[in-house]
Amino acid sequence: MKKKKKIIKTIAKVVFHFAKKMPSSYNKYNFGGRIIRIWCAKHILEKCGKGINIDSEASIGENVSLGDNSGIGRGAVIYSNVNIGNNVMMGPEVFIITVNHKFDEIDIPMNKQGVSPIQPVIIEDDVWIGARVIILPGVKVGTGSIIGAGAVVSKNVEPYSVMVGVPAKLIKKRK
């Protein structure tokens, strides 16, 4: 059974490579791209909720979970070890990054120092992530938060926060 699952996962990854090139889920003529991407997600993702959407051109790493009624936006790049909760809205071209380049040794070029260990990212339930947001390694975005378009999130976000800017700063609380 384990071998069969592994084969299906491999097939799903190959199919996803082509399905992500299909038109956006919201395009009137998407030729079933949305349905194919959802099928692939059910076999690729660590956990795949109900009612999800993965839009075109999205890239997804290993060990990614996507909760019920959540979506990954067009052209998003989701690195490995990301947990996305339920009812999460994500705009286009969001980057969720879980590794970084090392730069501690000044006598060794940075491109020769490798990368840091993976720092998982957690997006809790009912979060709205605007277009072109960048979420950096190790960040936790709290329940009910809104991250404004173009923000760079380098620190944890408290629940029900509205964050904007570079670096992202709190502009108000929702409750």
- 33 pLDDT above the threshold of 80: yes
Average pLDDT, integer, range 54-67: 96
Reported as a single tens digit per residue, the pLDDT across 139-159 is: 999 999 999 999 999 999 999
Q: Which CATH superfamily is domain 49-173 in?
A: Hexapeptide repeat proteins (2.160.10.10)
For 8, 110, 114, 149, 171, the CA distances from 133, given in Å and listed in that order, are 32, 25, 25, 6, 16
CB distance 162 to 172 below 8 Å: yes
* 101 has catalytic annotation: yes
What pLDDT, in 10s, does the model give residues 8-21? Answer: 999 999 999 999 99
Rounded Cα gap, residues 173 and 160, in angstroms: 6
Q: Which of 101, 155, 172, 173 is catalytic?
A: 101
Type of residue at 155: K
For residue 151, the model assigns a pLDDT of: 98
Instruction: Give Cβ neighbours of residue 4 (< 8 Å, ≥ 6 apart).
Output: none
Label residue 14 exposed, middle or buried (CB < 10 Å: 0-12, 13-18, 19+).
exposed
